Chain A
Amino acid sequence: MLSRTAANLFWIARYIERAETNARLLEVGARNALLPNTGGGYRNEWDSVLAASGTASAFRDKYGEAVQRNIETHMFFDTDNPSSIASCITGARENGRIVRTALTGQVWDALNTAFQELQDFARTERSRLPLSDLTDWTLRTTSLIRGAGLATQLRNDGYDFTNIGHYLERADSTARLLDVKYYVLLPEVSFVGSGLDNYQWRTLLRAMSAQRAFSWVYGGEITASKMVDFFVFNPMSPRSLMSSAEGALSHLERLARSYGRSTPAQNAARALVEQLQRMTIEDVFDEGLHEFLTRIVGEVDALASVVSGTYLSGVARCD
């Protein structure tokens, strides 16, 4: 397969996943904002969402204060923001158009319809577009695109590159979503385990569509340890770092088998999985949740670079 085609497929998946992350971040922010501000020293909940999305400074330059309406504009509509939902859907569809023939009709339909509906949103009065409608639409749309691929795409190398894109982006997304919690964590340790703390964790679970799953697996109280286990280590959790890393690894191994050649990309993915297998919840807290998550985001990014350098850039070398 052409390297560029593989890169397009990889990026379609990443954009779709990223749009979904933004919708989930917006949900977290909106719900946390409903919480009364008790006590001083809080950061603005929306600041934490921006910080986790990695676009805080770009936002401040353009909009200034972090009020909900501006955040919605920035994270959903604004095409100046390369990771806004509008940018991601447009980017996914543009990549899809380039590799139109590598996609089934259903996947293309889903991508193209998403783009057309996005155009309709842009023409609609904003007061008629409540945030919950926008986030619902995004989650529904991204599920449709992914599902169409799952049901109809040929299981060839292109399918592997698509899934590697999904898993790497999802690992990044989970780390960022968890990090929101870090940003809103109170300076005083006494708040840990408080009602407020609980509310925030619950919001996070809800945004990850994982509230019920969490109860099934752990039951009882929500604690920081259980949350970290669920979102970092538990391979049953579909959005955990472990699931994502294992998913990426399994598709890389599938590639290596079909190409009859292993590359540094497989080694890098295996190293990430093994690292997560070795670590414990205590290790994470010793390192500091934020520090750990920041490091993981960096490592996932490095893995993406290796995949890209190995397969997607078509480095000129003759056998």
Chain B
Amino acid sequence: MSQNPISRYFNEMYQGDAVRPPYRGLEDWSRDMPAEFRDMKQSEAEALFRRIGITFAVYGEGGSPDRLIPFDMFPRVFAADEWYRLERGIKQRARALNAFLVDVYGRGEIVKAGRIPGRLVYQNEAYETAVCGIVPPKGVYSHIVGIDLVRTGPDEFFVLEDNCRTPSGVSYMLENREIMMRMFPQLFQENRIAPVETYPGLLKRTLASVAPKKCDGEPRVVILTPGHFNSAYYEHSFLADMMGVELVEGQDLFVEGDFCWMRTTEGPKKVDVIYRRLDDPFIDPLCFRPDSMLGVPGLMNVYRSGGVSICSAPGAGVADDKAIYTYVPDMIRFYLGEEPILKNVPTWQCAKKDDCKYVLENLGELVVKEVHGSGGYGMLVGPRATQSEIELFAAKIRERPENYIAQPTLALSTCPTFVEEGIAPRHVDLRPYCLVGEQIELVPGGLTRVALTEGSLVVNSSQGGGVKDTWVMAE
């Protein structure tokens, strides 16, 4: 199953006919697998996913909220040394992003030093004036940083975007591994694969380490979910279960006497750390959106007075804004005095006149995204778009240029993937989950998303992407 050697895309397994070292343990396995066996395993995997109920809902598509995310059994593999470099780069970035957040809600040194335009920070929709002057426990705003990475060559990694609010998908990282271990135990005997199952324990330790100053004793941690209609509800309940903490909704919490309490069958219990899986505007109707039914009235007052910790801290979103993204390498130099280990993708900001002109002239080559968009919605992939789609998008950019950024179409690496005809290369990305509390932790792995359609570069699950187990080989 050799690959076309002149392909312009980096194939993570094959270099011509040669198999790259981290993938050697998969060569025989994939070559010798009979088609019937493969089909049997594939339906076994599907049955397992359905049985545990790991499904997701796609916003705006209607239909069943119980859709399965496609799982591809071909693992994606990193060598130990490749991972070591990624790990350092990811942790570096997570540190800088948090330093930036503390700074911009405090003295704003980076703006004063002229390294980032103040307009981009202070007039940003995600900037919360309500938390100015607050330094959250341990100086951490973003406790779970999801950094989306793509690869274009043996040593070429780019950060596509940062997710500082509530990155999702980690339950897939854990369940994909569970299912692979169950279906192919011999692969795990023959290869030394670093475990990811420590994640829930590390997450709980991270959350407990940022307990508020008024908390004495063992902090009580809860996960706050918008409810079971949310597309990520499965993940919320999965993490609550794995950490052994309560999964609460806004209606389960109330504020009284400078503390936050949860309603239990034995009366109120004080809550110390809230890992919230809802966005800032919904946290507290008294402080943000008055029409929100999801949050807890008065919660922000308790937060401000150190009665409860909120993870991620309100306001963290300003650091993962697509317009701010361009400046992350500068942040790393400014706060850490280090050179960035991971590269940014060159980005044109349509808000800038020259950039906008270039973008409009080269739409056919570029990927254009909304500054505040996510999930693969509202984006244009130039090389795959029709002429009329490009014209339509150009009109949108002219109307609100500040709403768009553009990047070159990256030659995303491919990983062998089981498709109808057998095994074929498909484009992949990677989202590792970095935990920031008293310490910075990164489990060796992450969520690999794969664009299952031939040639497609869009890996989002809402756009027909699938997932793979991600291996990091132990040294």
Contact = CB atoms under 8 A, between A and B. Distances in A.
Contacts of A316: 254, 256, 261, 263, 268
B265 A319 contact: no
B237 A3 contact: no
Given A2-B246, A4-B251, A108-B53, A157 B256 contact: no
Contacts, number: 70
Interface stretch (A30-38, A94-102, A128-136, A201-209): A94-102
B264 interface: yes
Given A97-B228, A100-B53, A318 B237 contact: no
Contacts of A6: 265
Contacts of B228: 94, 97-98
Contacts of A157: 265
A311 interface: yes
Nearest to A310: B265
Chain B contact surface mostly: mixed
Interface in A1-37: 1-6
A93 to B, nearest CB: 11
A4 B263 contact: yes
Interface-centre pick from B53, B254, B262, B265 (highest chain A CB count, 10 A): B265
Contacts of B252: 2-4, 314
B261 A3 contact: no
Contact of B241 (A1, A94, A101, A261): A101
Contacts of A148: none
A257 interface: no
A72 interface: no
A2 B264 contact: yes
B240 to A, nearest CB: 6
A184 B402 CA distance: 75
Nearest to A113: B51
Interface in B247-291: 247-249, 251-252, 254, 256-257, 261-268
B264 A112 contact: no
Given A97-B53, A97-B228, A101-B241, A314 B257 contact: no
B247 A101 contact: yes
A112 B268 contact: no
Contacts of B256: 316, 318
A166 B30 CA distance: 52
A3 B265 contact: yes
Chain A contact surface mostly: helix
Nearest to B254: A316
B246 to A, nearest CB: 5
Interface string A252-266: 000100010100000
Contacts of A108: 53
A255 B266 CA distance: 10
Nearest to B259: A318
Contact of A314 (B51, B52, B247, B263): B263
A255 B265 CA distance: 10
Nearest to B268: A318
Interface in A81-123: 94, 97-98, 100-101, 105, 108-109, 112
Nearest to A115: B66
Contacts of A214: none
Contact of A101 (B51, B240, B268): B240
B265 A318 contact: no
A311 B265 CA distance: 5
Contacts of A312: 265
Interface of A: 1-6, 94, 97-98, 100-101, 105, 108-109, 112, 157, 161, 255, 259, 261, 311-319
Given A5-B246, A100-B241, A316-B261, 18 more contacts: A2-B264, A3-B264, A4-B248, A6-B265, A97-B53, A100-B234, A101-B241, A105-B52, A161-B265, A255-B265, A312-B265, A313-B263, A314-B252, A314-B264, A314-B265, A316-B254, A317-B268, A318-B257
10 contacts: A1-B266, A2-B252, A2-B263, A3-B252, A3-B265, A157-B265, A255-B265, A259-B266, A316-B263, A318-B257
Q: Which 4 A-B pairs have the closest CB atoms?
A: A314-B263, A101-B241, A311-B265, A3-B263
